[in-house]
Amino acid sequence: MSKRIVFFLSITLIMILAYSYLCIPDKFEIEGGSCYQGITAMFIRFFLTICGVLNVLSIARIGSKSKVKIAKITSIISLMIWLTGFIIHSYDGFLMGVKYFAPLLILNFIIVVLVYRNRENKTGEM
């Protein structure tokens, strides 16, 4: 994998994580009633942090020959976590769910495809 692609993925990941962390919809901030107001946003930000760390690990391991399996596992786990959040929270407001969850979901999918494509290239060389 070229350094240019890794750099582009890293910058895109930083921008999408900043968008997802700072521009959380108001619905998530007020969900939970008076006692638990904001608890949904707290859980979403927690899983966003986990997905961010998993994606960083995956991007960092894309280039190495021996660590392709780690990149594959971390990228798939991140995709599944964020896809689950999308499915759960887009039930009430589909358009809001798409606007909020789609950027990281698309990037996760791209990372998974690049990891598998890179893995096939590495195994073809041996």
The CA distance from 36 to 40, in Å, is 8
User: Quick one: DSSP state of residue 91?
Assistant: T
pLDDT at 67: 64
Q: Where are the alpha helices (DSSP H) in 24-91?
A: 26-30, 39-61, 68-89
Per-residue pLDDT for 123 more than 70? no
The answer to whether 113 and 83 have CB atoms below 8 angstroms apart is: no
In angstroms, the first-to-last Cα distance of the chain is: 16
Query: Could you tell me the pTM of the whole model?
Result: 0.83
At 40-95, the pLDDT tens digits run 888 999 999 999 999 998 888 876 666 668 888 898 999 999 999 898 888 877 88
Say what angle helices 39-61 and 94-125 make with each other, to 10 degrees. Answer: 20
Q: How does pLDDT run across 67-79, given as a tens digit for each residue? A: 668 888 898 999 9
Res 119 pLDDT > 80: no
